[in-house]
Amino acid sequence: MVDPSQRRGTGGPGGGWAAYLRRFHEANPGITEDVLAHATDQGATPYGWVVDAVGAGPVLDLACGSGPLAPALAGRGWVGVDSSASELANVRQHGTGRVALADAVSVPLPDGVVGTVVCSMALMLVDPVDAALAEVARVLRPGGTFVALLPSTRPRTASDTAHYARLLAVLRRRHLAYPNDDRLVDATGLMGAHSLRLVEDERRRFACRITSPAVGVMCVRSLYLPDVDPGRLAAGEHLARGWVGKELGLPLRRLVAVREGAGEGTQAGEVSPGSRSRP
């Protein structure tokens, strides 16, 4: 849903992007997961696409949100980390795996203890992204896998383009963008700087079927819009209520990288958040 060739430098009122994201997720826990749960491509879901690329366990879910990946990865030693207490409360309610309240740039795990790190719909937001990728590389064993799911602008249909154009016009935005879009254009270079060798960079369209006005509204509310006037957002929600019976394409991008380096690292086993190796 974002245009990687553009970015918004504004973070909205009250402290920039970081403060906006805290407020957003406290008010809307699980909304991203709810939207993606309505999206499929030939029977596959976006989260299934992530799971398909997961390597050995244990698995660290960085910026795990409400834990949509936890059920599928529980048998591989899933551990979730997120900076939103409201999101983690949803995970704890379902009792799926261990979680920790922590920032993506300061993961409470020792060096080289996980076989896979996943990061779903968050890498375009974490700040600074280099510090987050350094943490990914630190906790991964050499040869371990990093999987990131991101918004994209392709592939999409002519109908998708028309829907997004009308929505942007109502919101009075030329484009939608997130803080790290410019950096992620060259994902190979960005990851390579942190000993992460990019091995896959794929895009795929998932169709979100608008089965009720509430689903249409949810799609709009799930967007990060820190500088959009509430009246414009309400107008966007009104537009989306009219999408019932249609589908909205969600173009997504999946990055898969391998942790480079010699050595065996820590042997696979149960991982509990709470300790961190000193640099």
How far apart, in whole angstroms, are the C-alpha atoms of residue 274 and residue 43? 38
SS3 of residue 250 by DSSP: strand
Q: 2 in a domain, yes or no?
A: no
| Tally of domains in the chain | 1
Cis peptide before 58 (omega within 30 of 0): yes
**Is residue 9, in this structure, part of any structural domain at all?**
no
Whole-prediction pTM: 0.88
Burial of 151 by CB count in 10 Å (0-12 exposed, 13-18 middle, 19+ buried)? buried
Q: What is the CATH number of the domain that holds 61?
A: 3.40.50.150
Q: What is the tens place of the pLDDT at every residue in 229-274? A: 999 999 999 999 999 999 999 999 999 999 998 654 444 455 656 6
168-187 core/surface letters (b: 16 or more CB in 10 A; e: else): eebbebeebbbbbbebbeeb
Phi, psi of 79 (to 5 degrees): -130, 130
Q: Are strands 114-120 and 59-62 parallel, antiparallel or unpaired?
A: parallel
Residue 275 lies in a domain: no
Give the pLDDT mean for 5-23.
58
Can you tell me the mean pLDDT for 32-61? 95
